[in-house]
Chain A
Amino acid sequence: MADLVLGGLTKRFGTVAAVDGIDLKVEHGLLCCLLGPSGCGKTTTLRLVAGFIEPDGGTIAVGGKLLSDARASLPPERRAMSMIFQSYALWPHMTLFDNVAYGLVLRGLGREAIRAKVEEFLKAIRMEALAERYPGELSGGQQQRVALARALIVEPEILLLDEPLSNLDANLREEMRFELRRLHDRYRYTTLYVTHDQAEAMSTADLIVVMNHGRIEQAGPPETIYNRPASAFVARFIGGTNILKARRLDAQHVAVGDLALRCASVPATGDLVVSIRMHQIALAANRAEGTANTAAVTIRRRVFLGASNDYLVELADGSQLRVTTTPETDLAVGARAWVGLPERHCLALAE
């Protein structure tokens, strides 16, 4: 069982801590996404795990076996991990067959065994007809599928992916997400996957780790990250939300301007914000039943998006909210209306 455990992992470049004491456990067979803006330390973390750079502190263990600590670090070729790169990194002077076969050649397998296994994997990515082609003759999507086969064929204990879909166009990216997930469900390798694209993380990961400034902001399944963000940063990064500055009133209430909001729970100390998802706000011409968490607004902008309407509304104190509604909601710009902010969707978070 190859679980991956990082303990206090730290890497400094000069005086900057690119990775600042990361603790993480990825259970065997799970696909874990490291998600965050550029410069958050996610790629450095991945390269530390791969062994391409040596940590300044902390430990990396796979299946209970220590690969790296403060004193010694195994070189990448002895870590039984395979890495997949944004640039595909197929060897341009080798055919697809030779690219996929190389890992097995290194492991000293016989000719026939290699041929059989490479053909099986080329079939799994539906590219058996192109075995004798060179990478330069393939599209980006095809190259990335070959890179996947090349990485999977050696049966790594850990699979590492560094923004594998970022070089592909939007349609192909979506298709490859499902392909990645399909291959993961089939082979079940413990996987560490770096991306800055939240949709990619949501659709592929079992576990999402949101990183910022070299630290983990929050780790959890996609539903938790989306519905229960632990910080304003996470709420903002997993897009589609309104963030309003707030003041604590009591354990259940905050004040946004002069509007009192009832929230699920309120942190005891610190600067607060309230996060409310755009599509979880109710917008109507008249005030809804019950008076809790409602406010009068003025419609400032309306964009019809086909499947939905996107409104920008202004509260009495001038702060603005974005609201996504059904296409039937029809309110004119400049009109007065009411928003309803459901208590369970008003998340008071430490800023």
Chain B
Amino acid sequence: MSGIARAKWLLAAPVGAMVFGFFMVPYLNIVVMSLRQPSTTQAYGPGFTTDNFVKAATDPLYVVTLLDTLRLAAMITLITLALAYPVAFHLARTESRWRGVLYGLVLSPLLVGVVIRTFGWIILLANNGLINQAMRQLDLPRLQLMYNEFGVVLALVHIFLPFMVLPLMGAIQGIDPRLEEAARSLGADKRRVFLRVLLPLSMPGIQSGCILVFVLACGAYVTPLLLGAGRVHTTTTVVVHQLELFLWPFGAALALVLSLVGLMVVWLYARLSGRVLRGQS
């Protein structure tokens, strides 16, 4: 082995050790745990079983929760995409000297931790929150803004916007504005330019943004827990609930099923959108 090759391995070693020690080992532990019997005195009991997976994949309660989770994640992804695209387009093309400020505003949801941000939403959305206080002052009926999917979706869209805006912006910045002008001069109105030129050429950004947001939405826990407040069930909240019931092995199995199904959705999506992308290199 040459000196350079050895140096490369040495440089990669700390990261490798990190990934192995703090990611691979716990993950493998979850896999092992998911195949064990529950125990009230330790993480799991002796002996192996597939019961946890059978229950996770067949019990309607958990299947429906999983489908709800995927549906919510898909909805959040689409809403985020629709809201993020105009923002990303503007940021990518603006020559304003406020560009840096706008960029900071887009990233601002990331500046506050998830718990604090969620409490911020509660202050706004609660039954006696700021919005409903204002409604009462105006003698208008009370709005149910949280303890339902609306609140959860709203808060998650807010958090995930930067993860959609940034890849979209990167993709749009790579599109020569002349490509749009060429289409305009040949007779395409703005709508056609968007559909035939901008959208297909933004696909790499749309693809990575959607995968990011979908995966994040599938794994979201604190926001559904606090804003759903026991009325919105996602697989993540159900998994944590199992831990409280000392059913760690079943919780592990549920978590793995969510990961696997989420991965399959992403893989399918990447294949489908990859077909659209082909021939664009």
Contact = CB atoms under 8 A, between A and B. Distances in A.
Contact of B185 (A81, A107, A136): A81
A136 B278 CA distance: 13
A77 B178 contact: no
A89 B187 contact: no
Contacts of A151: 185-186
Interface stretch (B150-158, B194-202, B260-268): B194-202
A134 interface: yes
A77 B185 contact: yes
Nearest to B181: A52
Contacts, number: 72
* Size class of the contact patch on chain A: 20 to 34
Given A89-B178, A102-B196, A136-B281, A154 B184 contact: no
Nearest to B281: A136
B186 A82 contact: yes
Contacts of A150: 182, 186
* Size class of the contact patch on chain B: 20 to 34
A75 B186 contact: no
A91 interface: yes
B100 interface: no
Interface in A51-92: 51-52, 75-83, 85, 87, 89-92
B185 A83 contact: yes
A155 B186 CA distance: 10
Contacts of A52: 181, 184
A34 to B, nearest CB: 17
Interface in A121-148: 134, 136, 147
A83 B187 contact: no
B188 A82 contact: no
A103 B186 contact: yes
B192 A106 contact: yes
Given A93-B200, A93-B201, A93-B280, A103 B187 contact: yes
B187 A106 contact: yes
B195 to A, nearest CB: 12
A77 B189 contact: yes
22 contacts: A75-B184, A75-B189, A76-B184, A76-B185, A77-B189, A81-B185, A83-B181, A85-B181, A87-B176, A87-B178, A89-B176, A89-B178, A89-B179, A89-B181, A90-B182, A91-B183, A91-B197, A91-B201, A92-B201, A102-B186, A103-B187, A151-B186
Interface of A: 50-52, 75-83, 85, 87, 89-93, 95, 102-103, 106-107, 134, 136, 147, 150-151, 154, 160
Given A77-B187, A83-B185, 5 more contacts: A76-B185, A85-B182, A91-B197, A92-B201, A154-B187
